[in-house]
A and B are shown apart, each in its own frame.
Chain A
Amino acid sequence: MAYMHIGKDFTPPDVPGKVTGRIKYAEDYTREGMVYARLLTSPIPHARVVDIDASEALEMEGVLGMLTADDCYPDGEPQSTGLKMLTNEPTLVGEPILAIAAVDEKTAETAISKISVTFERLPFVLDPLDSLQPDGADAYNGGNTFVFRQGFAEEKWSSDQVASFRAGNEPTAEPQQTVAYGDLEASFSESSYVYEGTFTNAGYPHMSMEPRSALAYWEDGKLYLHGGSQSLTAFADGIAGVIGVPKEDLVFVNAATGGGFGQRARAGSIPVYGVPAKLSQKINRPVMMRVTREEEFTIGGARQGLTGWIKVGFKPDGVMAACDLWIVSDNGGKGGGADAYSAADCISVLYQADAVRFRGTAIGTNTAHRGAQRGPGQNQIAPIISPILDVAADELGISRFDIRKINTPMNGDVGGPQRTPFTSAYMPEALELAAEKFGWEERQSRRRQTNGSKVIGLGIGQGYHNAGRSGMDGIVMMGADGRLKVHNGVGNLGTYSYASTSRAAAEVLKMPWERVDIITGRTDLHLPITSPQDGSNSIFTNTRTFYGAAQDMLAKMKEIAANDLGGAVEDYDISNERVHQISDETVGMTFAEVAARGIEIGGKYTGSAELPEELAEWTQIAVSRLAGTGFMGVFHDPQHEGNPPGFTVTCIEIELDKETGKYEILDLINVAESGTIMHPKGMENQLVGGAVWGIGLSGYERHLYDPQNGMPASTGYWQSKVPTYLDTPVKIQTGWVDLPDPENPVGARGVGEPAQGSVSAALTAAITDALDGHIFGASPITADMIINHVAGTTENSVPLAQNNFRG
C-alpha cells in the first residue's frame, strides 16, 4: 500500500533537543525553594530495623526533615512483593530505609552519616537452590516464595533433590507451576536425537544511563512529579495509586527518558518517586532526589536469573518433537518476574514443538529486586536452545539453517501452551532474508576454519516476543488553525515510538507532518491511557488507538461537511487538508473550517457528548478537561484476536581465539519480521541496540553478590560488564521483511525485545560452533569459561549457583 507517512523516515520532534542538550530530563528541573533528598539504604541483605536515632542529623543546620517507613505506612508496611517506598524490613543490600531532606546534597549526605540505625540481622541467601535446602535461609519474612492470593510461603526440597539437580539431573521435586500440551512421552519416543542437560542464565541489572531521579512538589492540592519512565500515562496511572493521590490530582512530567528496558515501564521503582513525593508533602518544599549509580542498581531492578534443566527431542527429519523444561527462577529480594514461563512459551512459538511441558518454581534471594527486562524469559532461553538445535542438526545430518526452517512458525500456526494463533507470522521469510543478506550458505566453507589458535564460528539465532496489545484509548484534536494535535501518552523512552505511533493519525487524515503537533511530555496536557510501554507492544497497540481516533475525527468531518454542504457522508473524501465531495472537489471545507464548525456545534464534536463508554478513567479525565476546547476524535480500541508476534533472525560470524578465550565478531546481521515497518531509522536503531544487548547477554553481563556478606559486587558499569564499543562489530547490518499484519490498521507489530534474543542465540551458537559443538548451557559465556574448556581446567565453583560467576 502506498502510504504518505508509514514506512518513511522522519525527524522525531525531540531529536533537536537531544542533539543540542536542550531537552530536559528529570534532574534538569528546578523549583523555587527546592531541597534535596538522600537515602540511607540497608547495608545488610536481610534484617529488621530495631531503632533509628537521627537526633544529631535532624539538629544539623540545613537539614529539613526525615522520612521513614512509618511515615509512608502508618498502618504498617504491606506484606506483599515489590519494593516499598521505605522499609523497616529490608531484604536486600541497598533497600531504602529512610530519606533525609536538606538544603543541598552534601548536607543531606553528611546528615545520613550521623544517623544510627540498629538492625536485627536475619539469615540471608543468594542462591535459590541454597534456599530450597531443608535448612536453607528464606529471603523474605515469612518464606522464600510468594503465592498469588495467599502470600509468602516456604518451599523446600530434600538435600538429595538439590544435590541431584546441581549434578545435572532432572529435578524431582514438585513444581509450583506446570503447563503442558501434547503427548510428551510419545513425542520423545519418536525422537532420534535427544539432548538433556542443565543450564543457568545470569540475571543482570538494567543500568539505564539516566538514573531514576525525580523531583516532586505540591501546588494547589496537586502533586507535580518530574521523573523518567518508559511510559507516560500508564506510569502516572499506576504511581498515583502507589503514592495515594487521586489520578486527577497527579501531574507527571517526563519529556525524555535516558533508557528504559522493562523496569521503567510501570510504577515498580516505587522509592524514587514515592520518597520525594511524600517527603515534599511532609516538609512542604519541592524535593529533588537524585539517584546514584549504585542506587540505580538496587532500586532499578534486574533480569531474573534462571537455573534450569532442559530435554529436547528431535525426529529423524529434524522436527522438534518435544521439549521438557524445568526452571527454578531467582526472584531476588522483592519477588517478581515470570520469565521462566515465557521461556517455555518462546520455545513453543519459535520451534513449534509437538509437545511441550514447563515446570517452574520461583524462589527469592536477598539480591536486587527482579522484574521484566527486554525479552524476559524469551531472551534467556534463546542462547540456551540455539546451540541445542545446532548439535541436533549436526547429529541428524541436517543443515543448521534447515532445522530452523523445518521448525519455523508461519501463518496459520499457533504457539505457546495456550495454543494461540498468530495474527500473522512470516518467520520463513525472515530466515531466508537474513541468510541471503548474510551469505549464510557461502560462508559455510569457512566454518571451523583455523588460523593458528583462532577458529571461525558461525551462528544463526531467532528471537520472539509477543508484540502487541489492545484495549487502550486515543485522542486527536484540531483547532480552528486546522493543525492536527495527537494527544500521545505513550512516553518517550528513546525509541521515538511516541512519534511513530502518532503518524498513524496523520496517515488517516493525510496531514502533512509539519502540520501535526504531538502533545506529550506531561500529563496535564490531557493524554489518553496507553498500555505500559513494555513487551514490544507500543507500535501495534498505539497505532490502533491513534488510527481509530483519527478515523473518528474523519467521520465527524464528513458528517459536518455533509450536513453543511449537502449529500451523504459517503459522498465525501479528504485531500490536501480539505474534506470535499468526491464528485466535485470544489465543494468542501478546509480542515480549519470544519474544525471551527465542529467547535461551534459542540457536543460529540468537541468531546462533550457521545463518548465511547469503555474509555478508561484516565482518558475520561483527559477528555473531560479537553471537552469544548477543540474538535475532537476519540476512540476506545476493542480487543484484537490472536498473538501478534515480533520475530527476528540473526546471523553471526566470529573468530575465536582458543588461547585467550576472546572472540571478535566479524559480521552480524539482525533481521526483523514485525509487520509493516513504521519508521525505518527507528527500526534500525532497535535492531542495532538489540544486537549490543544480545552480545552482552551471551558474552558479558553478570550479577555478582558476595556469599559472605550478601553485598552486590556488580553495582556499576565496570563490574556488571555491559558490552563496550570494541566488543561489538564496527558495522551491524540490519534488514526487515515488511509484510503487513491484518490485526493492525497499518500492518505494524513491535520488535524491540526479540532484537536482543536472536543475537544472543546466534552468538552462543557461533561460540559453540567454534568449539566443535561444546554446549556450555549458560549465559553469559565468558573468556575464562572458554579458556577452561579448551585447557581442560575447572574452577572450584558451586554448580548452578546464581548471583555468582556462572549464573
Chain B
Amino acid sequence: MVATSHDVMPDIELYQPADEATALDLAARLGNEGWLLSGGQDTYGWLKDRNKTPAAMIELTQIDAWKGVKEIADGIEIGATTTLTEIANDPLIKSRYALLAKAASVVASPQIRNVGTLGGNLNQDARCWYYRRGLDCYRAGGNICYADSPEGLNREHALFGASRCVAVSPSDTAPALVALDATMVVSSASGQRLVPAQDYFVGPDRDIVNMTALNAGEILTAIRVPNTWANAEFYWEKVADRNVWDFALVSVAAVFRVSGNTIEDSRVACGAVECVPRRLETVENAIRGQQRSESTASSAGNLATDGARPLNYNHFKIPLMQNLVKRAIRG
C-alpha cells in the first residue's frame, strides 16, 4: 500500500562537517545510510514523505573548498556546492562557457537556483512521478515499471535506452557538461577519481537504482570544464511545459567549432529523452565537415531520433527532438 503525502520531517541525524576530511569520513562511515545534503531541493520531499529513510544527513555546504569557480591549468573547476545562480552569473563561465551559464539559468525557478547547487542538479534522482510517489517500481526495488505499461502516464518519459525503467535524466546542466566534455571529480576517504561527464550518468541497464556512477561513500566535489570547447559556438535550448519550475520535455546542448560556414567539429547532447544525457555522436559525425545549412540541419535532425521508441504519450518528443537538433545546427 502506497502512503499519501506526510509532509512532516521525521527524526534524522544531521551532520554539518566544516572540512573535507570529516565530510569524507562521514560519507565512508555512513555509506548508503548517509544522505548527502547540499541545497536540499531533492531532499526534503523524499524525507518528509518518508519515501526515502536514511539514518543521517551530511550537509556539505559548510565546506569552502567545494564552493566557487576557479581557473585551473586546463580550464576551470567548479565546486559542486556552488549554487546555480552563482554559475549563471559567474563572469568566467559566462565569458568562456556560456552554454553552462545558460543551462544553469533556466533550472527550475530563481528561488531554487539560489539554493540549489550544481552538484545537486547533476545528482538529482529521477523525476518519474510513479517513483517519486513511492510506488514499488524497478527503480525503487520492485519488479514493475508503471510508466512503461499499456496505461502508464508517460508523456515526460524516455524515447531511448529503456531497460525496465523509462525515467529520463532531469538535469538541465548535465547535457551542457556532456557537450563541454567536462570531468567529474569524485572524492572519497580513499582518494579521488576523475570520471568523464558522459560516463558519470548511468542508465537502468547498468544500474536500475542509481542515475550516476557515484558509489556509496563517495561525494561529487567538483566539476572540471576543459579548455577544449571554451569560447566555442554554443547552442542551448530547453522546451518545458512552463518557463519556470518545469523539467525539460526535451533539451539540447551543443558546442561547435565552425570555420567559415563549415562545421569542423561538434558535441551535441539532448536531455530528457533518455535516462542519461543522450550524446548524439551520429549527428556529430554526420555534420563534421558539412556546411551549416538548413539542409544539414534537417538531415541531422532526422538522424537524431533514429532508434527512438516512443511510449503511449510521448510521440511528440520525436519531432521536438528533431526540431531542437535542427535549431542547434542552424545556430
Contact = CB atoms under 8 A, between A and B. Distances in A.
Do they bind each other?
Answer: yes
Interface string A360-378: 0000000000000000000
A113 B152 CA distance: 28
Contacts of A783: 239, 241, 249, 316
A794 B314 CA distance: 9
Interface string A271-304: 0000000000000000000001111001000000
A53 to B, nearest CB: 14
Given A724-B245, A805-B313, A661 B2 contact: no
Interface string A88-101: 00000110000000
Contact of B6 (A109, A704, A711, A791): A109
Given A660-B239, A795-B315, A105 B8 contact: yes
A659 B244 contact: no
A661 B242 CA distance: 11
B13 interface: no
A717 B314 CA distance: 22
Given A704-B153, A796-B312, A726 B242 contact: yes
Nearest to A804: B153
A652 to B, nearest CB: 17
Contacts of B9: 106
A292 B48 CA distance: 11
A293 B130 contact: no
B151 A727 contact: no
A726 B243 CA distance: 6
Contact of B315 (A41, A110, A718, A793): A793
A711 B2 contact: yes
Contacts of B313: 784, 795-797, 805
B2 A708 contact: no
B318 A793 contact: yes
Interface in B1-34: 1-11
B293 interface: no
Given A661-B316, A793-B316, A293 B5 contact: yes
A700 interface: yes
Contacts of A660: 237, 239, 320, 323-324
Chain A: interface secondary structure? loop
Chain B: interface secondary structure? loop
A453 B246 CA distance: 23
Contacts of B130: 706
Contacts of A804: 153
Interface in B48-102: 50
A578 B149 CA distance: 78
Contacts of A724: 109, 242-245
Nearest to A728: B243
A103 to B, nearest CB: 13
B151 A708 contact: yes
B146 interface: yes
A93 B2 CA distance: 10
B331 interface: no
A793 B319 contact: yes
A82 interface: no
Interface string A699-737: 010001011110101010111010111110000000000
B327 interface: yes
B242 A700 contact: yes
A209 interface: no
Interface residues of A, number: 55
Contact of A43 (B2, B11, B327): B2
A592 interface: no
B319 A791 contact: yes
Nearest to B4: A41
Interface string B85-127: 0000000000000000000000001000000000000000000
Contacts of B324: 659-660
A448 interface: no
B155 interface: yes
Contacts of A449: none
A262 B1 CA distance: 33
Contacts of A112: 6
B10 A110 contact: yes
B133 interface: yes
Interface in A27-54: 38, 41, 43-44
A718 B245 contact: yes
Given A661-B316, A723-B242, A727-B244, A706 B146 contact: yes
A717 B153 contact: no
A629 interface: no
Nearest to A659: B323
A594 to B, nearest CB: 56
Given A43-B4, A294-B7, A706 B153 contact: yes
B277 to A, nearest CB: 19
B2 A106 contact: no
Interface string A141-157: 00000000000000000
A805 B319 contact: no
Contacts of B3: 43, 113
Contacts of A719: 129
A713 B153 contact: yes
Interface in B275-296: none
A447 interface: no
B53 to A, nearest CB: 11
A787 interface: yes
B155, B241, B320 — most chain A CB neighbours (10 Å): B241
* 5 nearest A-B residue pairs (beta carbon): A294-B5, A726-B243, A724-B244, A791-B319, A292-B7
Interface of A: 38, 41, 43-44, 93-94, 105-106, 109-110, 112-113, 292-295, 298, 453, 659-662, 700, 704, 706-709, 711, 713, 715, 717-719, 721, 723-727, 782-785, 787-788, 790-791, 793-797, 804-805
Given A43-B2, A293-B7, A723-B242, 9 more contacts: A109-B6, A660-B324, A661-B239, A706-B130, A706-B146, A709-B135, A726-B243, A783-B241, A805-B155
Interface of B: 1-11, 50, 109, 129-130, 133, 135, 146, 149, 151-153, 155, 237, 239, 241-246, 249, 312-316, 318-320, 323-324, 326-327
5 contacts: A38-B8, A659-B323, A707-B151, A727-B242, A796-B315
